[in-house]
Amino acid sequence: MQMKKQFSILCFFLLTMVTLCGCSDDNHGLSKENPITISVWHYYGGHAASQFDDLVTEFNNTIGRENGVVVTAQGMSSTGELDEALWDCATEKIGSPAMPNMFQCYPDTALSLEQKVALVDFNDYITEDEKLTYVRQFLDSGCIGADNAWKIFPVAKSTEVLMLNKTDWDKFAKDTGAQLDALLTWEGLAQTAKDYYEWSGGKAFFGRDSFANYPILAGSQLGHELFKGSGESVTLDFDKAVMRRVWDNFYVPYVNGYYSQVGKSRCDDVRIGEIVALVCSSSRASYFPNEVVLPDGTSYPIERVVLPLPNFEDTAPYAVLQGAGMAVTKSGEAQEYASVLFLKWFTEKEQNLRFSMNSGYMPVSLEAAKADVMAAYLKEHSANAVIRESIMMSLSQTEKYIMYIPTGFTGGSQAKEVLERTMPALAIANRAAIADGALSDEFLSDEHFQKWYADTLSELKQYCN
């Protein structure tokens, strides 16, 4: 009898422990009665920031309240400001706050931060079935380092598109017979820009944001991927023939006055009538102006059109897949689980569609990213026309183009800054010199290209094997 009693007590004890453990496993340490606060840092601006904040509030009032999670969001003005703030936290700079639980970043930043701060591998929290609900290449873009661990969670993605002031284009096309199809290639765009310059009496036609994407894509498109590998092991393939093609279709038109950049962004340049066409991130479509304001103060409304990203002649089309994801700092099961809970909710179909419509980013949910689903949602909610065109063009490019996922490596940010700076800075300076009376022959010589190539290669070698 005594043994039966002891056995019953033991069974009751084991059952209680299993029940308690089961509860712990289910809620991962979260308590509705004692909510925890999770911080997230991002660099969204404008409509995207407003929509992100609205979704954070909605999460806190629903899923967060049910699970004992409160998310607080802090926005930065740019990726540079955010990266600097994160590095200050990671290195425990005096006066800096603690690392946020979640933060927006690109692979290069995540790799650098991992030298100081451990990041969550989302494979520990996301099941294989859950992964199937996302666009696969968007998930792959967050796998970094030598072990290809999943450290960056996709929340929204973008690519690049060509945007055009159709009002001024139509005047030019009517007089010259110019065709939009010519803008499908870099060579055709350069020739069209020359024609526009001559027709308009010396006005520039085109400008480009995020210049580094241009030579990087050119390398892959023309068979010489610039940065091969990831993490600490990256080799550089800075092919001279590829860079000459880039030079001939950007630097040369720029120095001749066919291209230009004067404002903070090329959308600003369209607004003041400096250029007519530009390449920018699809997520910046909403910044494209609806009027041109000339230096004398006069203005006129313009129509806008979104076109595919140009490619080099006789090559497969390439476009960059960009848009920073979210990393989660290792901090304890409750905090990590709460962060992932928010990210999964944020990227569910309905929330993802809403954020996309109001920001211009592509959704990452597999269901939301279907062209027919997205089109129906945008129509139902009377989305901004230019954002609608940009999103649909982006989704079309992900199907028809080869999407280049930028390589993340230590020193990657610095190497890409070299590409971003060197050719445009030289083109701007040389164009200014010609405007002041210098002869263009020296600037357009082969020796000038050779010097730029050698100088740029030397700088890049500092950051690549």
pLDDT band (50, 70, 90) for residue 46: confident
Burial class (CB in 10 A: 0-12, 13-18, 19+), 460: buried
Give the contacts of 223 (CB within 8 A, at least 6 positions apart).
Answer: 242
Outline where DSSP puts E strands in 329-456: 402-404
pLDDT score recorded for residue 16: 40
Q: What is the CA radius of gyration of the chain?
A: 26
Mean pLDDT across the stretch 59-83?
95
- CATH code 3.40.190.10 region(s) in the chain: 36-157+323-387, 160-320+411-460
Residue 434 has pLDDT above 90, yes or no: yes
pLDDT score recorded for residue 26: 67
pLDDT band (50, 70, 90) for residue 234: confident
In tens, the pLDDT along 188-210 reads: 999 999 999 999 999 999 999 99
pLDDT band (50, 70, 90) for residue 64: very high
CA 23 from chain centre, in angstroms, equals 39
CB atoms within 10 A of CB 264: 9
Measuring CA to CA, which residue among 192, 383, 217, 427 is closest to residue 311?
Answer: 217
In order of 42, 126, 134, 362, 462, the CA distances from 129 in angstroms are 28, 8, 10, 22, 42
Strand partners, 328: 102
Per-residue b or e along 29-62, where b marks 16 or more CB atoms closer than 10 Å to that residue's CB? ebeeeebbebbbbbbbbebbbebbeebbeebbee
Measuring CA to CA, which residue among 36, 25, 44, 42 is closest to residue 65?
Answer: 36
In tens, the pLDDT along 327-360 reads: 999 999 999 999 999 999 999 999 999 999 999 9
Q: By the 8 A CB rule, do 363 and 133 touch?
A: no
- Region for 273 from its dihedrals, namely left if φ exceeds 0, alpha if ψ lies in -120 to 50, beta otherwise: left
Distance CA 207, CA 275 (A): 7
CATH no. of 160-320+411-460: 3.40.190.10
CATH no. of 36-157+323-387: 3.40.190.10
Measuring CA to CA, which residue among 203, 321, 207 is closest to residue 264?
Answer: 207
In tens, the pLDDT along 238-263 reads: 999 999 999 999 999 999 999 999 99
Residue 441 has pLDDT above 70, yes or no: yes
- Which is more confidently placed, 28 or 342? 342
Q: Which two tokens stand for residue 108?
A: 């290069």
SS3 for 342? helix
CA 236 from chain centre, in angstroms, equals 23
Give the contacts of 224 (CB within 8 A, at least 6 positions apart).
Answer: 237, 238, 239, 242
Alpha helices in 201-303 (DSSP H): 213-221, 240-248, 251-255, 266-271
**What is the pTM (predicted TM-score) of this model?**
0.90
Q: By the 8 A CB rule, do 74 and 41 touch?
A: yes
